[in-house]
Amino acid sequence: MNRIFLVFFVFMLLLSLGEFILKRKGMDGRQQRVIFIFYTLTIICLIALQFQYYQILPTSNIMNIFSPHVKRWVDQFV
Amino acid sequence: MIHKQVVNHRQIAWLVGSVLMTGMMISFLRSVVQVARMDAWFSQIIPIIYALFIAYVLSKLVEAYPGKNIFEILFIIGGKWIGGAVNLLILFYIWIILAIDIKGAADFLHISLLPNTPLEVVLLVFVLLMMYYGKTSLEVAARVNEFYFPLYFIMCISLYFLLMNEYNIERLEPILTSRLDRIVVSNFLPVGVYGDIFLIGAFLHAIVEPRLFYAAMKHGVIIVGFGTTIILVVLLGVMGYIIAGRLNFPIYILVQQIHITDFLDRVEMILFSIWFPAFTIKVIVAYLAFLVGVGSFGGQRHYNTLNAPCGWFIVVSSIFAFPNIAHIDQFISYSLPMIVLGFQLPLALFLLVHVSRKNKGREQSLIPEGTKLYRFYRSMVWTTTVCLSGCVIVILIGDFFKDKSALSGGATAVAYITLLLIALLTSYGEMQALNHGKQKLGRAKQAGSFRQ
C-alpha cells in the first residue's frame, strides 16, 4: 500500500474520529452505535489490508468464492 | 434531508439510464461477448424485462407505502429483527455495487490514464468527490446528470458514425450462429448490472406519482437496453468477438480506434470526459442510497453525520474486497447475477405479493378514461409491451429459421433493432402522456415527482 496514501488516510481518519468523539454527546444513541461500527470496520479493514499480499490473511478471493463455480457451470451449459 | 426537492420524470429516467448504463462500460461487456460471441448484441432483452419488473415492484411499493423508502417499508413489514436483517443484506448489496464501481474506476484510471499515480490515491480522490456530493441530495445529482447523461447517450450512439471507417458488418455475420442457449446465458449475465435499479428503492419516500415514476423508470431502462445494444453492435463490428472477448477495457479500446482525420488525435479523451461525470453520478446515487440505508438503522433521515465514517469505510473496504480488475470482472460477470437472482428477485416477488394484497381496490389514474390523451397513453403502453415481447419472439423465430434461409439472420437483426427503437420512442410517449395528464389534473404545482 502506498505510504503517502496511508499517512494521509490515517490522518484524515483520526481527524474525523476526533470530531465524532467531541460531538457524540449531542447525537442519538443508535446513531452513535452505527457510526462506531463503521469506524471499527474501517480500522479492521485497514489493518487487514496491510497483510493482504503477504498471505497471512488470504482475503483476495473473499468476494469471488462462488464465481469459479458459476463460471464452470456456465461453461458446461454452453 | 428534510428540505423539499424537485426531481422531475425526465430526470428520473436519465438517472436510471446513468445508473444502469455507465457502470457496465468499464469491463463488463467482455464476458457477454465471450459467451454469445458475435450474437452478444442480443443480450439485453431479458435484463430489460427484469429491470422493468423491479421498477414495477418499486412503483407498487410507493402506492402501498407513500412517503416511505424501501428500508422503512421492510422495517414495517418484517419488524425490528427480520426487517433489520433484510435491510442489512440490502446494505451489503449496495456496498457491493459501490465497491465494484469505485475500485473498477480507480483500476481503470490507474491502468489506462494515470499509471504513475498510486491506485489508492486515485480511489481516495474519487471517494472524496463522492463524500462532497454526500453532503447534498439526490436533486443535485439529478441536475448534474441532466447535463451529462444526454451527452453520454449521444456519444454512445455516435460511436457508430465515428467508427464507420473501421466498421465491417462481416464481423457480425453470420447472425444467430450461436446456439440459443448461449444467447439465453448471455442474457442472464447483464441481469446483475440491471439489478442496480434497486438503488432507486432508497429514494421511494420522495415519490409522489407511482405511475409516472414507473413510466420514467421504464423509459430509462429501455434507453439503456437500446444504447448498450448499439455499443455492442459497434464493438463487434469494429473488433470482432475474438478481440473484444479478450480485452480488459473493450469500450476504451474501441473509442481509441476512432481515426476520423490525421489532425484530430486522441478523440477518446473527449469521449472519456463525458463518460466520467456520468459514471460519477451513478456512484453518487449508490452512495446516497447507502447513506439512506445506514441512516434508517440510525433512526433518522439526516445522513450528514454518517458521511465521513461511511466514506472512509468504503475507501478501505473496496480495496480489501477487490484487489484487481480481474476480480471485479469475474465478480460482475458471474457472482453478481447470482446475487441478484438469488436475493433481489425473491425479495421483489415477496414485496409484490405483499403489496398486491395491500393495494387491492386502490386504482390510481393520472389521465381521465375515454379522453384522447388516455387513448394515446394506452396505445403507447401496448406498443411498448408488444415491441419488447416482439424482440424475444424475433430471436426465437430467427433461431428456428437460421439453418433454412441465409436471409433470416439479417431480417432478425433489422427487426430486433427496429422493435427496440420503437419501444424506446413509445416508452417516451407513455411518460409524456402521463406527465400531461398530471398537469391537466392540476398537480403541476406540486413539487416534481420526488420530494424529500
**What pLDDT is attached to residue B451?**
46
The grid cell for B112 is 489506462
DSSP H helices, B299-406, are 304-321, 325-330, 336-339, 345-358, 372-401
- Contact assignment for A52 to B320 by CB distance below 8 Å: yes
- Contact assignment for B124 to A28 by CB distance below 8 Å: no
Å from A57 to nearest chain B CA?
11
- Which chain A residues touch B if contact means CB-CB below 8 Å? 1-2, 4-6, 8-9, 12-13, 16, 19-20, 23, 27-28, 30-31, 34-35, 38-39, 41-42, 45-46, 48-49, 52, 59-64, 66-68, 70-71, 74, 77-78
Judging contacts by C-beta atoms under 8 Å, the chain B residues touching residue A67 are: 330-331, 333-335
Interface predicted TM-score (ipTM): 0.91
Q: How far apart are CA B417 and CA B425, in angstroms?
A: 12
Query: Which residue in the set B35, B298, B322 is minimally distant from A28, CB to CB?
Result: B298
Nearest alpha carbon to residue B176 among B423, B405, B417, B412: B412
Q: What global pTM score does this model have?
A: 0.91
Judging contacts by C-beta atoms under 8 Å, the chain A residues touching residue B297 are: 30, 34
Judging contacts by C-beta atoms under 8 Å, the chain B residues touching residue A42 are: 309, 312-313, 315-317
**What pLDDT is attached to residue B444?**
47
Judging contacts by C-beta atoms under 8 Å, the chain A residues touching residue B312 are: 9, 12-13, 16, 38-39, 42
Query: Which residue in the set A1, A61, A77 is minimally distant from B120, CB to CB?
Result: A1
Query: Which residue in the set B181, B315, B337 is minimally distant from A9, CB to CB?
Result: B315
- Contact assignment for A34 to B317 by CB distance below 8 Å: no
Judging contacts by C-beta atoms under 8 Å, the chain B residues touching residue A2 are: 118-121
B301, closest residue in chain A (CA to CA): A31
The grid cell for B49 is 424485462
Name the CATH architecture for the domain at B9-214+224-365. Up-down Bundle (1.20)
Å from A22 to nearest chain B CA?
13
- Contact assignment for B335 to A63 by CB distance below 8 Å: yes
- Contact assignment for B305 to A27 by CB distance below 8 Å: yes
Q: Model confidence over A25-67: pLDDT tens digits? A: 878 888 888 899 999 999 998 888 887 665 555 666 777 788 8
Q: Model confidence over B103-150: pLDDT tens digits? A: 988 998 888 888 888 888 999 999 999 999 888 888 889 999 999 999
CB B295 within 8 A of CB B301: yes
- Contact assignment for A41 to B317 by CB distance below 8 Å: yes
Nearest alpha carbon to residue B452 among B58, B16, B140, B211: B140
Judging contacts by C-beta atoms under 8 Å, the chain B residues touching residue A66 are: 334-335, 338
CB B295 within 8 A of CB B2: no
- Positions of chain B with pLDDT under 50: 1-3, 444-445, 447-452
Q: How far apart are CA A2 and CA B114, in angstroms?
A: 15
- Contact assignment for A2 to B306 by CB distance below 8 Å: no
CB B120 within 8 A of CB A5: yes
The grid cell for B233 is 453492435
Residue type, B391: C
**What pLDDT is attached to residue B3?**
47
Query: Which residue in the set B96, B118, B305 is minimally distant from A2, CB to CB?
Result: B118
Cβ–Cβ pairs < 8 A, chains A and B: 119
**What pLDDT is attached to residue B352?**
93
3-class secondary-structure state, position B306: helix
The grid cell for B89 is 443484506
Q: How confident is the prediction for chain B on average, in pLDDT?
A: 87
**For chain A, domain boundaries:** 3-77
B330, closest residue in chain A (CA to CA): A67
CB B357 within 8 A of CB B385: no
Inter-CA distances, B77 with B71, B74, B298, B384, Å: 10, 5, 18, 33
**What pLDDT is attached to residue B364?**
64
- Contact assignment for A31 to B323 by CB distance below 8 Å: no
A38, closest residue in chain B (CA to CA): B309
CB B32 within 8 A of CB B188: no
